[in-house]
Amino acid sequence: MKHLSLILLAETVVSRRKTLKLSQTALSSRTGINRSILSRLECGDFSPSVDQLLALSKVLDFQVSDVIVDDEVETVEIERKKIAIAGTGYVGLSLAVLFSQHNDVTAVDIIPSKVEKINRWESPIQDEYIEKYLAEHKERGLSLCATTDAISAYAGADFIIVSAPTNYDPKTNFFDCSAVESVLGLIKEATTEREMKPTIVIKSTIPVGYTVHIREKMDMDNIIFSPEFLRESKALYDNLYPSRIIVGADEKNRAAAKEFAALLQQGAIKTSIPVLFMETTEAEATKLFVNTYLALRVSYFNELDTYAEVKHLKTAPIIKGVCLDPRVGDYYNNPSFGYGGYCLPKDTKQLLANYEGVPQAMISAVVQANDVRKDFIADQVIAKSPAKVGVYRLTMKSNSDNFRASAIQGVMQRIRAKDIPLIIYEPTLEDGSDFCGFEVVNDLARFKSESDVILANRFEDELADVSAKIYTRDLFRRD
């Protein structure tokens, strides 16, 4: 049996409200819940009705299932481990914090400034829960340090997690896995004299068949693969409340795979997590198919929005009407300028490359649809004949500092091709600096004044006073 955890609900409501910079009064107004009740709820002293819980989850953007727990929590018993993690991006750092609750963790990175920040218990990336856990490291008993000395970190580790970047290389039509191979080479060097080898877990996204290939190439039979399913800026949260755990391993490494899954379960808050064990190639394919489906869903609602704009229809009621069908679902449906970020653009292209020799039409369409959407958005802006276009944030999502491969950059290039000047408002960049030939203007008043049209993939309240200048497809004011 399961029940609502008032403690988890209180922690979630307080944390999300502060992240969204909402006062209790504002939250009361948006949810229709009396402020005095909210105060009791945030103290863990009030059990909300179903309607109140749903209203809170919608306004504060959390899943109701995250505050539901089993009546009897099954404890995962596992011996304390020494864990080394290669890479401190969203994947690596979130895992480092997760595991450091019950294990001794060393995070490895080649960038000294990131290492120094982690050793000061500061997050080098923007992620609400990572920042919170690092700030509370004493209370939580985290055992975590960071280093640039990979050899020493790997030498005595029981588990080594590889979360190095794998960018898509259009020349080879495959992921560039050189960073992963470099890490594996260092691991082999550091552990060559050990009789009992560590278990190496690749968390980087890789082509289908890569684990089998690299095990043979490097003569290392202690490598398994476990795909990650993390959202940008919510990586630790998604490790604390995972939708599932998947580990790919051959029969020889099946016991190690089960132990690794147990480590993930041990660090999580959520209980009764579905765990799947499969071959490495199947796990690799699962990761690429998941992200390609997400890209397909983004593209579907973007093309619905394109149709509505061209036909002078209102997009929002159409989406609502479509998504009230329980087979579709009212989520992941807010139009945007296209999919982007760390994963979707490269993973869709990699899956398409893996389809060589296999009949398909839809996978190609998902890749092509993103370019079509960016063409359309750019054309809509160009049609307004602006003297200067302002770009409000390069990031893909609210509360994020990542703008790698963000769709808005593709739109910017298309507008520049028509000789229309652009300026950027992006607080994560230095004011007055140059970004790909565009001036960064972080004086918001000046940015608003100089821009005839302001492109905003996601709308923020600070743009409300110039709403007439805004071009956005952020219909539902959420990611």
Residue 414: count other Cβ atoms within 10 Å of its Cβ. Answer: 19
Cα–Cα distance, 61 to 300 (Å, whole number): 22
State the catalytic residue, choosing from 43, 145, 323, 343.
343
DSSP strand pairing (434-435 vs 438-440): antiparallel
3-class secondary-structure state, position 144: strand
Cα–Cα distance, 54 to 65 (Å, whole number): 11
Q: What number of H helices and E strands is found in the chain?
A: 19, 18
Angle at 440 between CA 434 and CA 441, to 5 degrees: 150
Cα–Cα distance, 16 to 3 (Å, whole number): 21
The distance from CA 68 to its chain's CA centroid, rounded to whole angstroms, is: 23
Contact assessment for residue 392 and residue 359, using Cβ atoms and an 8 Å cutoff: no
Cα–Cα distance, 171 to 150 (Å, whole number): 30
Cα–Cα distance, 37 to 110 (Å, whole number): 49
**323 Ramachandran zone, left/alpha/beta (phi>0; psi -120 to 50):** alpha
The answer to whether 343 is a known catalytic residue is yes
Give DSSP secondary structure letters for 250-266: -GGGHHHHHHHHHHHHH
| H helix intervals, 175-221 | 178-191, 210-218
Cα–Cα distance, 108 to 406 (Å, whole number): 27
308 secondary structure, DSSP code: H
The distance from CA 376 to its chain's CA centroid, rounded to whole angstroms, is: 26
Cα–Cα distance, 170 to 346 (Å, whole number): 10
Contacts of 23 by beta carbon, 8 Å cutoff, 6+ apart: none
Contact assessment for residue 468 and residue 451, using Cβ atoms and an 8 Å cutoff: no
Contacts of 467 by beta carbon, 8 Å cutoff, 6+ apart: none
467 secondary structure, DSSP code: G
| H helix intervals, 401-442 | 407-416
Residues classed as catalytic: 343
